Amino acid sequence: MEYCEQGDLLCFIEDNKVIIQRPKECHLPLYYSLVRDIVRGIQRMHSLNFIHRDIKPNNIFLKKVRGRLVAKIGDFDHTRELDENMTRSGIGTNEFNSPEIYLRKDYDLSTDIFSLGVTLLYMFAGAYPFKFHNLNITFSKLAEKEKPDIQSIIEPCGELPDFLSQEVRDMIHSMVSF
């Protein structure tokens, strides 16, 4: 993996919370550029039939390339070629996992998309999409039912900042919806 001297996306989010939640017009191209880089990285992995299974801000690294801040996906410890044997294994980071992973239900490449949606929601709104603040309670509520109603514990992204275009809002909503 190449060296990314600008740290990870989590540090960037924490260091720039005020800027992210109240950006100047000139900052939006940077954020959209980072999102584009992340989406392209996931798209490339998926085109090769690989699933990351741990997309989160700590695993997205930043570096300068020709004066531009670029996002790179890293930490491929949990990345595997998608096959039938691993589609029920619990892996990754709870806050960013899709409910299917936590509940050890069948999952596919869309689990990375869910994790990306949670990452973007955290990046732009500083929040997770779960109604309960304690993830153990949240996922226990899911596990209590034989056929859990996932929508009953997933909020439709809460309040995304007004500066985001409707297209970006819709994209994030669709990523964390079922």
Nearest to 101 by CA among 143, 158, 129: 143
pLDDT for 72-99, tens place per residue? 999 888 888 887 665 666 677 777 887 7
pLDDT of residue 107: 82
Q: What is the pTM of this model?
A: 0.81
Please state the CATH superfamily assignment of the domain spanning residues 9-126 in this structure: Transferase(Phosphotransferase) domain 1 (1.10.510.10)
Tell me if residue 54 is catalytic.
Answer: yes
* CA atoms of 5 and 106, how far apart (whole Å): 37
Nearest to 53 by CA among 85, 83, 90: 90
Contact (Cβ atoms closer than 8 angstroms) between residue 143 and residue 121 = no
The answer to whether residue 30 scores a pLDDT higher than 70 is: yes
Determine which one of 54, 77, 106, 108 is catalytic. Answer: 54
Contact (Cβ atoms closer than 8 angstroms) between residue 6 and residue 12 = yes
- Return the bridge partners of 130, or none: 154
Residue 176 pLDDT class (50, 70, 90 cuts)? confident
Q: Which residue has the tokens 């801000």?
A: 57
Average pLDDT, the chain: 78
pLDDT for 90-144, tens place per residue? 677 777 887 777 777 778 888 899 899 889 888 887 777 665 556 666 666 655 5
Greater pLDDT, 172 or 24: 172
The answer to whether residue 155 scores a pLDDT higher than 90 is: no
Domain-by-domain residue ranges, the chain? 9-126
The answer to whether residue 8 scores a pLDDT higher than 90 is: yes
pLDDT of residue 140: 64
Of all helices (H) and strands (E), which one includes residue 16?
Answer: none
